[in-house]
Structure 1
Amino acid sequence: AVASIAGPLLGGTFAEHLHWSLIFWINIPLGLVAMAIINKPLRKLPIAAKHHRIDGLGALLLVAATALLLLALNWGGSEYPWLSREIFGLLACSAVIWSAFALRLLRAAEPLISLEVLGNPIVLAGTLSLFLLQAANIGLAVYLPVYLQSILGLSASESGTAMLGLMLGTVAGATFSGRTIARVVHYKRIAMVGVTFAILCLGILGLVAGHASLLIVEILTTCIGLGSGTTFPVATVSVQNAVDQAHLGVATGVLTFLRSLGSALGVAILGAVALGYGLPLAGEGTQAASTAVEALAFVMIFFTAAAMLVMALVALVLMPEKPLRGHPEAPVLAD
């Protein structure tokens, strides 16, 4: 919660008063501190009695396929046109390696990702919902400061402060959801109601993007964060609850990996929308675009993010609901 709040504030301060590159360099000391904190507790964890063989080839294929896909998503529309040979070549190579990775999963004695985990419908729907939700949230977190600066005229540090509504709402939604899950039978409905609320608020933000006041934007973004934040605990707990203890780490790893991939995909998609409507990519300034063009671009950006949330909602609706482990007769507080 503290990190979610401090991140935008520090990022805006670094960009305006110091240097933008500090948002990357600061991760080195923070990472070292995190490693020092978790090192001792991790050493106390029991060592599994059964020995496993790590599928090195599968890991190599996964890294290569992901790297090529991320390069295509980051370079598309900025370094090269989306329909250029370079981007097409990266995507084609990525698709081939993804196919090889899929074959490796089928043939390896101990595949990197268990087929039992991948075939679980709860894992599939839960990870897909978080993948889409993260794509919308991170894409919004990247382009909302651009909107605040170009349309509302805020400075970099002021736009960072204005992002607090979205971050606080997300933290509040996730906290409420996490504390409520074990107390209800149909816990999935918490996320379904939350995402529906976020979709409505994001749609309203798209409708008023060209003439909204800062107060309206703050209220709407706080509500968006509040609604979307409810999904993170629900999807995570659902996925972890759907597999046995032996596959818990793999299922959690798949969930985390797809969340990260969704972040990159969301920024790329919204970046393509921005370029398509004449808005420069985030971080490249907006001097060349007129106010009307900027407003239209942000309307489409917000609507696209809302469409991602709609797909996340569909995944949640389709996700089977399994009684939580350890709570077979949880009382119904909301049915």
Structure 2
Amino acid sequence: MSAPEAPGPQPPQASTQTPSPSAPSAAPLDEPAVRRIVLGVLVAMFLAAANQTVVTTALPTIGRSLNDFGNLTWVVTAYLLAATVVSPLYGKLADAWGRRVMMMAAIGLFMAGSAVSALAPDMLTLIVGRGLQGIGGGGIFPLAQTVISDVVAPRERGKYQAYIGIVWLVAGFGGPVIGGVLSQHGHWSMIFWANLPLGAAVAVSSWRALAKLPRHERPHRIDWLGAALMTLAALSTLLALGWGGTRVPWISGTIAGLVAAAVLFSVLFAWRLACAEEPFLPPAVLNNPVVRLGTVASAGAVSTPMAMTVFLPLYYETVHGLSAAMAGLALVPVALVSAPGSMLSSRAMTSRHGYKLIPMIGYAAAVAAVVALAALPEPSLAVGMGLLCIVSFGTGTAIPVCTVCIQNAVAPHQVGTATGVMNFSRALLSSLLVAVLGAILLAGFGVVPERGGGSAAAVTLHGPEAAAVFRWLFAAGAVALAGGLLALLRMEE
């Protein structure tokens, strides 16, 4: 089926938007064609999403192999930061040149980054490879969501966006399982070598599936300067968070310089948004209240569980005494319960009224569960996994609602751009949260400048001492989720 304007849970702004007169009309697609297209982009999305967290359980092994523990968090952050930068760019490029071409480019860059990472002889090369992976993977996310909006009517998008939410969360929690098994029973480079045949298969299937995709091309000017300024601002902030208290003291000239650079580049980025002819983040999209609030709510629901997942294997290993492989397997139940949450809220979206009620309840339950973990960071393994399952279920209810509302609030030729803005916010918040949570853990575990900054090995705590450190990690996660819940409550239904 095609993607015409149809009644459904659309915000009021959608009624004032009209498609571009230059957009060509596409012949309707039958249901089997829609399923082939959706399946193709979901498989591509799973591959990219799993690689956000697949290295988490392998990080200790990688650190020992490359003799560098102090830069381990950058193996995750480099991917997230690169994905942050390119998400809005892919949205615009897809609107200008077509979804199919840009999907092939994204998969190709992802595979190239995988090869560099697999061959990395040192930590710097691995981080560069992970960044190249992120440039490709960061495009797959918005393109998959945009493709679904192209072929599915607005009222039915909730069901398909639920599938995306399930893929995202299952990949996020399943990635550590795959990484743990491959690193424990093989070599850590197998994590990246496996992407090459899988990526080739995904590219072939996606190229065929997207052949009949409706086209909504519209010329765009790419704001490369704005993208560069945003990258420098984010990089300065992440370096300050990653180095403060570990490589150098918080009160030092290095941290002061990084903070000053972050402020300067942020101000210049804001200036560029105001004066550019077609800025990196379009004001017309950002000024839409549904897009703005939905993006914040979506970012909190996706980024907080994902950032916590990076450190949950360490939580299971140090607080509950599990092995690396078992720590990865302990995440499986948490991943599985995300699916019912997404499906439940998607069903509610077929109703004209009240579709925000379920995600509001789910989001609030997720906040309460993380608060409970912060208050009692050393529960029994069963209770801890149960609370994490509530977080996964609750945030899963919000993801499809936020995505569909954002896409329905803009014109068809702006869907790619709006989806890119949403994914940009998700990736940026994920990067910042990983840096913040990593700084909390490094400081709590004794990786400080006086002890060498973690260049050789971190000071390991276990049991109650480790739980006391993770208390603050869960508290930071609760703050991020609470901000997303507030945005969801304020978003117009």
Matching residue of 1:110: 278
Q: 456, 461, 465: which one pairs with 1:289?
A: 461
With 224-233 and 284-293 compared, the bigger mean Cα shift is at 284-293
Aligned-residue offset at 1:154: 0.4
Partner of 1:142: 310
State how 1:56-71 maps to structure 2 within 5 Å: 56-71=224-239
Structure 1 residue 271 corresponds to structure 2 residue 438: yes
- 2:478 equivalent in structure 1: 306
Alignment of 1:184-223 (within 5 A): 184-210=352-378, 212-223=379-390
Q: Secondary structure at the match of 2:420?
A: helix
User: 2:461 is paired with a residue of what secondary structure?
Assistant: coil
**Residues in 2 aligned to 1:313 and 1:4: alpha-carbon distance in whole angstroms:** 21
TM-score for the superposition, normalised by structure 2: 0.59
Tell me the distance in 2 between the aligned counterparts of 1:33 and 1:83: 50
> 2 CA distance for matches of 1:224 and 1:285?
32
Paired residue type of 1:317: L
User: Kindly tell me: are residues 34 and 245 of structure 1, through their superposed partners in 2, closer, same or farther at Cα, counting changes over 3 Å?
Assistant: same
Partner of 1:318: 490
Q: What is the CA-CA distance between 1:7 and the residue it aligns to?
A: 1.8
TM-score with structure 1 setting the length: 0.84
Partner amino acid for 1:226?
Answer: F
Question: Structure 2 vs 1, CA of residues 93 and 199 (structure 1 numbering), >3 Å: closer, same or farther?
Answer: same
- Is the Cα–Cα contact under 8 Å of residues 298 and 426 in structure 2 kept in the other structure? yes
Residues 167-189 of structure 1, C-alpha deviations (whole Å, 9 max, x = no match)? 11223322322232222512222
Alignment of 1:131-280 (within 5 A): 131-210=299-378, 212-278=379-445
Q: Structure 1's 280 and 174: CA in aligned 2 closer, same or farther, altered over 3 A?
A: farther
Sequence identity, in percent?
37
- Aligned partners of 2:415, 2:232: CA distance in 1, in Å? 25
Residue 286 to residue 146, structure 1, CA distance change in 2 (3 Å): farther
State the shift of 1:297 in Å. Answer: 1.1
In the alignment, structure 1 residue 7 sits paired with structure 2 residue 175: yes
Contact 2:172 2:309 (C-alpha < 8 Å) held by counterparts: no
Q: CA deviation at 1:284?
A: 8.7
CA shift at 1:110, angstroms? Answer: 2.3
- Secondary structure of the residue aligned to 2:350 is helix
- CA-to-partner distance for each residue in 1:109-159, whole Å, 9 max, x for gaps? 222332110111111111112223334212321222111111111000001
Cα deviations by residue, 1:27-77 (Å, 9 ceiling, x for unpaired): 444444333332334454455565333333333333443344444444444
**Cα distance in 2 between the residues matched to 1:156 and 1:119:** 45
Decide whether the 8 Å contact of 1:134 with 1:262 is kept in 2: no
CA contact (8 A) 2:307 2:433 kept: yes
| Alignment-mate amino acid for residue 399 of structure 2 | F
Q: Deviations over 1:281-303 (max 9, x none)?
A: 99997754353321211222222
Over residues 239-291 of structure 1, what are the superposed CA-to-partner deviations in whole Å (9 max), with x where a residue is unaligned?
A: 11222222211110010111111111111222232244346599997754353
Q: Look up the SS of the partner of 1:258 in the other structure.
A: helix
Aligned to 2:298: 130
The amino acid of 1:218's aligned partner reads M
2: CA distance, partners of 1:79 / 1:25: 32
Is the 8 Å Cα contact of residues 128 and 315 (structure 1) preserved in structure 2?
Answer: yes
- Give yes or no for contact 2:242–2:438 (8 Å, CA) kept in 1: no
Distance 1:266 1:29, change over 3 A: farther
Mapped to 1, the partners of 2:455 and 2:294 lie a distance apart of: 33
Distance 2:459 2:227 in 1: 44
In the alignment, the residues of structure 2 paired with residue 73 and residue 30 of structure 1 have an alpha-carbon distance, to the nearest angstrom, of 35
Partners of 1:204 and 1:10 lie apart in 2 by: 29
Q: Which amino acid aligns with 1:303?
A: A
* 2:269 matched residue in structure 1: 101
Paired position in structure 2 for 1:331: none
Contact persistence 1:8–1:160 (CA under 8 A): yes
Cα shift at 1:103: 2.0
